[in-house]
Amino acid sequence: MSQTDRLRSCKAIPALRPVAIKLHVKCIKRAALNLLNAFGVPAMVAIVCAIVFGDDAPERVVKLPAAVDPAAWGGDHVHQPMPQFITGDECLFCHRTNIGTTWPRNRHFLTLRSADPKSPALIALRENPSTREFADQVQFLLGGNHQNRFLRRTPDYGRLEILSASWTPPHGGKAGRLARTDAPHWDDQTFGKSCAGCHASGVDSQTLAFSAISLDCFTCHGDVDLEHSKDGKLAILSPQRRDPPRVVVSICGQCHIRSGTSRSSGRAYPNNFVAGDNLFRDFQVDWSDKHLDRLEPIERHILENVRDVALFEKNDLDCLSCHAVHEQSTEKHQQLAERAICNNCHLPDQPKAKTRPLGGRRIRLCGY
């Protein structure tokens, strides 16, 4: 293994990067001097970038085309009334077999779901003396593998209250546990202000009221025309229609970019985004390398791909190239030819099952 390979393999694990640099400082110095003598300043800059940014940093720095204005195309629904969209239950009257039977197990559905009294989270809440009285009031659970929150309806339209206590499911051999159980109380503000945009549908940014629990078909397919039954191309993201990558990343990005802010509402979720809109006309995102490099791999993976499409018009890859949303299948993912963005999560020249450990800065907006 060459010094460079050794350096790369060590650098590939962010947590070990400082150690790698320390151990190989002499090699780096020697290599830098040799490069400086042989090729001058550009090569020196390249190796410094490699140390600082990791494996694919040189590609990003050197090869990306010029950025375009991500807000330059399309429209938005900011300050417009919420469309009278067809609700998911109407959709499932027809799509009962191909979607209806699998949707209850889909993560996009489960992001906010009716609370099962027999779930470990509810049992723990019931068994804890300080939270016991709240257990029977819980109507919904929010969240997945990292953190669950407890919610209930309020008397008001489209509002939920969130319990201050939370549940961390069992993970990696650690038992599940309740957190923030001191002085538990219902909070009627947080869900609307922070969570509703991605855990409910049809959210009015003015009133913070939503019109449907969890993600309705509207979230990704927009205000679908019934005529789509005759012409599938009329429904956004339908198999018969090849939506441009910039449309796709806008749709997925409305929730999966968790570090943006609506310019018009100031909230962490988009203001009245309707699938087909250009998310970035109103949703502000820090696209800088500096920001990306601070993110943990999954967050970086999302934002980097979105940036490639939205800023650099790299249209060969969007979210749907790898992710089959309804099927929750990894088949497309596995079939895809290897490319640089894979290295957000996978280790180059390593078995695909081996992925980078979580690291970097987590976005504290919510617990996923």
Partner 1 sequence: MWIHKWERDRRKGVDSPIPTQVVSNEEFIPRPQTGQQRQWERLIGELADQKSRKLGMSRRDYLRSSMGMATAFLAANMVYGPYWDVEAAETTEADAAQEKWPKGEYFIIDVQTHFTDGFALGFRSADFVRDMGFQLKDDADAYSFTNYVKEIFFDSETSLGVISGVPGREIDKSRAGKILEGRDRRGGILPSWLMSRRKNELNALAGCQRTLCQGNCAPNHYWDRTKNAPDFPALYDQMEREVKTYGIDSWKWYCHTDPGRSGNGFRLDDEKMAYPFYERSKQLGLKVFSVHKGYASQSRTLGHMAHPGDVEKAALDHPDLTFIIYHSAMKHGTTEPEFKEPGYFDPETGDFAWHADLMKIKQRNPEMKNVYCEIGSAFGTLAIAHPVMCQHLIGKNIKNYGVDHVLWGTDCLWWGSPQWVIDAFKRFQISDELCDKFGYEKLTQEDKAKIFGLNAARIYGIDVEAERRAFPNDALSKLKTAYLQQGGQRDNTAYGWVRADV
Smallest distance, Å, CB 156 to partner 1?
6
Q: What tokens were used for 295?
A: 């993110």
Smallest distance, Å, CB 47 to partner 1?
53
Given 1, 37, 38, 97, the residue binding partner 1 (CB under 8 A): 97
User: Tokens 């350096």, residue?
Assistant: 7
Smallest distance, Å, CB 332 to partner 1?
17
Crossing angle (nearest 10°) for helices 25-39 and 3-11: 120
By the rule CB under 8 A, 89 interacts with partner 1: yes
Given 80, 229, 240, 329, the residue binding partner 1 (CB under 8 A): 229
Please, which residue, 200 or 268, has the CB nearer to partner 1?
A: 200
Please, which residue, 218 or 283, has the CB nearer to partner 1?
A: 218
Q: What is the signed CA dihedral for 181, 182, 186, 189, rounded to 10 degrees?
A: -100
Given 10, 44, 209, 347, the residue binding partner 1 (CB under 8 A): 209
Smallest distance, Å, CB 266 to partner 1?
23
Q: Can you tell me the distance from the alpha carbon of 263 to that of 299, in angstroms, rounded to the nearest whole number?
A: 21
Q: Can you tell me the distance from the alpha carbon of 146 to that of 33, in angstroms, rounded to the nearest whole number?
A: 47
Q: Are the CB atoms for 165 and 137 separated by under 8 Å?
A: no
Compute the residue count for the chain: 368
Stretch that binds partner 1, among 19-27, 106-114, 126-134, 327-335 (CB under 8 A): 106-114
Stretch that binds partner 1, among 16-24, 143-151, 208-216, 257-265 (CB under 8 A): 208-216
Q: Which of residues 107-136 bind partner 1 (CB under 8 A)?
A: 109, 113-114
By the rule CB under 8 A, 84 interacts with partner 1: yes
Find the distance separating the first CA and the last CA of the chain, reported in whole Å.
38
Given 69, 182, 227, 316, the residue binding partner 1 (CB under 8 A): 227
| Cβ atoms < 10 Å from Cβ of 165 | 22
By the rule CB under 8 A, 230 interacts with partner 1: yes
By the rule CB under 8 A, 76 interacts with partner 1: no
Please, which residue, 90 or 133, has the CB nearer to partner 1?
A: 90
Q: What tokens were used for 229?
A: 């039954």
User: Tokens 């504290």, residue?
Assistant: 364
Alpha-helical regions (H) of the chain: 3-11, 17-23, 25-39, 41-53, 57-63, 88-94, 107-110, 120-127, 132-135, 190, 196-199, 217-221, 245-256, 289-294, 297-310, 319-322, 331-335
Q: What is the signed CA dihedral for 85, 211, 91, 150, rounded to 10 degrees?
A: 150
Stretch that binds partner 1, among 26-34, 42-50, 153-161, 320-328 (CB under 8 A): 153-161
Smallest distance, Å, CB 93 to partner 1?
5
Site residues for partner 1 per CB under 8 A? 84, 86-94, 96-97, 100-101, 103-104, 109, 113-114, 155-158, 202, 209-214, 216-217, 226-227, 229-230
